[in-house]
Amino acid sequence: MRFTKMHGCGNDYIYVNGMEERIEPDKKPEIVRRMSDRHFGVGGDGVIFINPSDAADFEMEMWNADGTRGEMCGNGIRCVAKYVYDKGLTDQTKISIVSGGQIKYLELEAEGGRMLTARVNMGNPVLTPAEIPVVMPENAENAIDVEIEVDGKTYNMTCVSMGNPHAVIFVEDVSGLDLERTGPLFENHERFPRRVNTEFVKVLDRNHVEMRVWERGSGETLACGTGSCATAVACVLNGLTDNRVTVKLLGGELLIEWDREANVIYMTGPASTVFEGEYEI
């Protein structure tokens, strides 16, 4: 099976052209786990199949490294755009991609037949607890700056869905965090029925923040696009930043803009091809 290794700000996935490579659905979880293994496989935060779609120009079928399905990946969707544009599957710089039933619209910046960056309309942030989902009292309208106890310590979190669930935790320092211990405790906490992605955020000023992320099913990654969007929303809702925020990640930077009037989040960032190859399945 042919594949292309790509990354957006270090958030790396293995990309497969699902229009050419046919894999039986029941075999995908095991293939994804084997390919994602960084010692015995290709190595990546997961596998993304690029498929045809009746609802949009293309479909992004996202799998986490542990063989579970994911709904949305902000870094991944930019890489899908680069894949289809660079390989001539489209010559349009405005395209639509559907993932997990959600259609996203992208504007590509290209040069010499290659996509450099993409601005993605990430849609509306979801704050209703049941839709995120996060367990809250029945009358709670949102989960903004609420307490959660993890491993005997009380944190304040703001929960947002960008098509997948996020819990944003504001901290004074991100470099000293023991995410290998803390991340799984948040991910599998009883208050998150579908597990959760957790962002640990230090606010630098009104337009810049620093973030580390623990992604459900993948562990700590170098970047998370939807997590950056959720972080920007949480920052604004807690009065910590303006509506335009640069998120500094371990693998690079993403520009997040929240159009409050339209209630739409825009994410702008790069995508890169690493290498191509064949994997025996």
Percentage of residues of the chain with pLDDT beyond 90: 99
- Assign 111 a pLDDT band (cuts: 50, 70, 90): very high
- Assign 154 a pLDDT band (cuts: 50, 70, 90): very high
The angle subtended at Cα 185 by Cα 182 and Cα 187, nearest 5°, is 105
pLDDT tens digit sequence for 232-248: 999 999 999 999 999 99
Cα–Cα distance between 161 and 275 in angstroms, integer?
32
CATH of 2-122+269-278, one of 3.40.50.10860, 3.10.310.10, 3.40.140.10, 3.40.50.300: 3.10.310.10
Q: Shortest CA distance to 36 belongs to which of 268, 251, 215, 271?
A: 215
Average pLDDT over residues 61-76: 96
Strand extents, DSSP E, 162-207:
165-170, 197-205
Place of tokens 């091809």: 273
Active centre residues (catalytic): 73, 224
Cβ contacts of residue 256 below 8 Å, gap of 6+? Answer: 228, 229, 231, 232, 244, 245, 246, 247, 265, 266, 267
Domains 2-122+269-278 and 129-262 alike in fold: yes
Residue spans of the domains in the chain: they are: 2-122+269-278, 129-262
Q: In Å, what is the CA distance from 108 to each residue of 80, 83, 101?
A: 11, 12, 22
- For the whole prediction, is pTM greater than 0.85? yes
pLDDT value for 26: 96
Average pLDDT over residues 220-239: 98
Average pLDDT over residues 79-104: 97
pLDDT tens digit sequence for 5-33: 999 999 999 999 999 999 999 999 999 99
If you average pLDDT over every residue of the chain, what do you get? 97
CATH number corresponding to 129-262: 3.10.310.10
